[in-house]
Structure 1
Amino acid sequence: MGDVVRFVPKSELERARLIAEARAIYDSIFPPAAPDRAPQDGEERVKT
């Protein structure tokens, strides 16, 4: 007893879904830097 049920508007759920989708697309185009990863063939080492 005493549980609080929060109403989440449909627009807020849609906004969160779109942000997650955009982030996934961005990460597929610009993968996060992995400094411990060895360069692949034909790839230069990134200096930081």
Structure 2
Amino acid sequence: MLVITREEGERIVIDDDIVITVVESKRGSVRIGIEAPLQVAISREE
């Protein structure tokens, strides 16, 4: 597992076509945005 620190507005790029952006961070919660091609399945695990 890769663990990195990012601030609001910073991005992580995977394989040139998946972009993860830190949208907001407050009170122990982080909101992220994910941009990916339609054929890439994105699931969340609680």
TM-score, reference length from structure 1: 0.22
More strand by share: 2
More helix by share: 1
- Determine which structure has greater relative contact order: mean sequence separation of CA pairs < 8 Å that are 6+ residues apart, divided by chain length: 2
Higher alpha-carbon Rg: 1
